[in-house]
A and B are shown apart, each in its own frame.
Chain A
């Protein structure tokens, strides 16, 4: 079964703690993305990676960090510097864009993070 898995499904964190969200894909996609979704806010891009060992900040990278050591894995760490971390986090992957073509982003099931 090809797809994207995210774990855990629900995560609770105390203030001041760092937590890491897992994202794994077996679609052989080069590009991977992390989004944050808040009620009424749509999806906002946190970080993205077009290739292994390379990643770029998205629109709301402050308080987050990522790594891309393997093609199939793109973990996201929510640090204590993130002021409002309670949200629904979505991971996605795709093949890279080429001229005049679009490559669909496939999404994982999401992780709901709650700060206590």
Chain B
């Protein structure tokens, strides 16, 4: 079982739809959960970051973390064609091999989203 599972899609929705993107993970040590957005042939950029469980909202975007289920979500309200991109989840936690310091990011495979006008 891979550490982070993410449905690669592609996911196609009409403009204005609510989009739900999800990742599951197996490592209970993960504490930091990120969503990156990557436009075609570009580097990823950080969209949302959440520490531990809970919700975080930023404009049209909401990130949710459920550590008991090892499940994270990103919701996009009123989706726009400019939201068309690949969305990557990433997570990290303590690195037991490095004195307990924070470990490196583990990425999901990314979900390709297309919002049609």
Contacts and interface: CB of A to CB of B under 8 A. Distances in A.
Contacts, number: 49
Contact of B44 (A44, A45, A90): A90
A100 B100 CA distance: 11
Interface residues of A, number: 24
Contact of B32 (A44, A88, A102): A102
Interface residues of B, number: 23
Say whether chain A's binding surface is mostly helix, strand, loop, or mixed.
strand
Contacts of B49: 102, 104
Interface of B: 6, 8, 32, 34, 41-46, 49, 51, 88, 90, 92, 101-102, 104-105, 107-110
Interface of A: 4, 33, 40-45, 48, 58, 88, 90, 92, 97, 100, 102, 104-110, 112
Given A97-B102, A104-B49, A110-B42, 14 more contacts: A4-B43, A40-B109, A42-B108, A43-B105, A45-B104, A48-B104, A88-B41, A90-B43, A97-B101, A102-B34, A102-B49, A102-B92, A102-B102, A105-B46
